[in-house]
Amino acid sequence: MTRIDRRFEKLRSEGRKAFVSYVMAGDPDYATSRDIVLGLPGAGVDVIELGLPFTDPMADGSTIQLAGQRALGSGQTLEKTLQIVRELRATDDETPVVMMGYYNPIYSRGVERFLAEAKEAGIDGLIVVDLPPEEDDELCIPAQKAGLNFIRLATPTTDDRRLPVVLQNTSGFVYYVSITGITGAAEAQADLVAPEVARIKAQTDLPVIVGFGIRTPETAEAIARIADGSVVGSAIVSEIAKGRPVAEVLDYVRALADGAHRA
């Protein structure tokens, strides 16, 4: 079992829903990003999604695109992203970390080398948004053999023919994208999401976590009530972009986590 598997098993046994947070590694700089990541577990985060900055983030809206630009501009690299995880693992060996990003930086490093380094650093899972299931031999299967979960996205356009293909080699959890389009767009609506979550859960025993369009504790709670948890990314990244002190960013995260945990 990975840390992700253990965390969701623990949450199930306690009758609790998950709160998952996304931040971009290196945004606005290495030290600030590291301090935020190290503070996330104490703010109530159950799973950390750590963005790997990339020059062409085609699935992301302007908020996360700009975060990636700030990170790259401050010198963030794949190696420095792994180092943030190593620093977290020095004090926290339980909170799962999922690296989220695009395939190019992984391909450039070499899949075998990347997976060995990711495992050594303490990464537990991957979300690679530009590798479809048809390319599972490229990274998904090797990652799972290396002991990392490979988390797949399902969307409102993933129909009943496509869904089994998406779920086939998915592990850890399923990330349901609540809206059609890029990150940071419209607000998630629990009444629209609920039947889609039920449709996915009818075909898998994996937890289904819902993200995109969650900005408030109230929405985090509403979404968590109809799923296994909620994900917030762009809203947190927006607080970082405003230059908020680390403590204020973590206070905002804590309020969102409290919302999800009320579900």
**Which residues are the active-site residues?**
49, 60
Which position has the token pair 């963005």?
51
DSSP 55: S
Inter-residue contact 231 to 127 (CB < 8 Å): no
Angle between helices 78-89 and 30-39 (to 10 degrees): 40
Burial 87-104, CB ≥16 within 10 A → b, else e: bbbeebeebbbbbbbbbe
The Cα angle at residue 119 between residues 114 and 121, in degrees rounded to 5? 95
The Cα angle at residue 144 between residues 201 and 58, in degrees rounded to 5? 75
CA–CA separation, 113 and 1 (whole Å): 22
C-alpha Rg value of the chain to the nearest Å: 17
Structure tokens at 42: 């104490």
Neighbouring-strand partners of residue 150: 126
Which position has the token pair 């002190």?
245
Cα-Cα-Cα-Cα dihedral of 195, 18, 21, 59, to 10°? -30
Structure tokens at 114: 């990347």
The span from the first CA to the last CA of the chain, in angstroms, equals 26
